[in-house]
Amino acid sequence: MTDAFTLLSFGSDGWGDEIARGTLITVSLALASLPFGLVIGFVVALGKKSDEPSLRTAANIYTTIFRGLPELLTLFLVYYGVQILLNKVYQLFVPGSFVDVNAFVAGMVALSMVFSAYASEAFLSAFRGIKQGQYEGGYALGLRRGQTLRLIVFPQLIRLALPALGNLWLILLKETALISVIGLDDLLRWSGIAARVTKEPFLFFGVACLIYLLLAMISSIGLTWIRTWAQRGEGLR
């Protein structure tokens, strides 16, 4: 049995550099899905709080679907579904050709859709925390609807939604592990490969778990910092 430190070292006999590369992929996948998830989630939340019933229905159907499906299934639906769809479209123009969907992009699309469905709920409950008077005050100052939303409501909204969004970020970070199933070389996949080659599964999956924990801890620190920053204008209570 080889020493655990040798196995985890960087370089040709250790798996340290592979695992570090996998960690980078995991983090960049989560970071790449985040902005799309936030923007789509915000738009869906706007739809849900709209006065227009048809808009509310459309938004609610979206969240029902993506909150009801297992994330793994969403991933497969996007990965295989988009591949089949793209190939059908592509073959209309260039017969006999074949396109391959990038696993990273498929994961990004699936994770952003799931994230946005949950984020829309977070934004919606934050919207409920903003009093009607804030909108009326904005209109009384002669601001248009978009301006009121952007200048008055949005800054308060972020503050109210931050705790829930922080939790969603931690969930997103964990969900990226699923991407290893469709063959992206993320943290969990490299640990799996290392475990199979070295026959030390407990060591490598244990290390993978610890790295996920470390990422969660770093995120918590970052989130606390962002929350303090967002509340800097509130003063002492």
Residues that bind other proteins (CB under 8 A): 47, 50-58, 61, 64-65, 68-73, 76-77, 80-81, 84, 170, 174-178, 180-181, 188, 191-192, 195, 199-203, 205-206, 208-209, 212-213, 216-217
How far apart CA 174 and CA 114 sit, in angstroms, is 13
CA proximity to 86, closest of 111, 113, 109: 109
Q: Are 114 and 175 in contact (CB under 8 A)?
A: yes
- Smallest gap from residue 95 Cβ to other proteins (A): 20
Residue among 59 and 126 whose Cβ is closer to other proteins: 59
- Smallest gap from residue 106 Cβ to other proteins (A): 13
- Smallest gap from residue 50 Cβ to other proteins (A): 6
- Smallest gap from residue 232 Cβ to other proteins (A): 28
| Four-residue CA torsion sign, 172, 175, 177, 178 | negative
Residue among 197 and 229 whose Cβ is closer to other proteins: 197
Site of tokens 């989130």 = 223
Q: Are 73 and 148 in contact (CB under 8 A)?
A: no
Residue among 53 and 133 whose Cβ is closer to other proteins: 53
Residue among 85 and 105 whose Cβ is closer to other proteins: 85
- Smallest gap from residue 24 Cβ to other proteins (A): 17
- Smallest gap from residue 129 Cβ to other proteins (A): 18
CA proximity to 178, closest of 77, 75, 37: 75
How far apart CA 33 and CA 177 sit, in angstroms, is 13
Residue among 114 and 152 whose Cβ is closer to other proteins: 114
Residue among 134 and 220 whose Cβ is closer to other proteins: 220
DSSP 81-121: HHHHHHHHHHHHHSTT------HHHHHHHHHHHHHHHHHHH
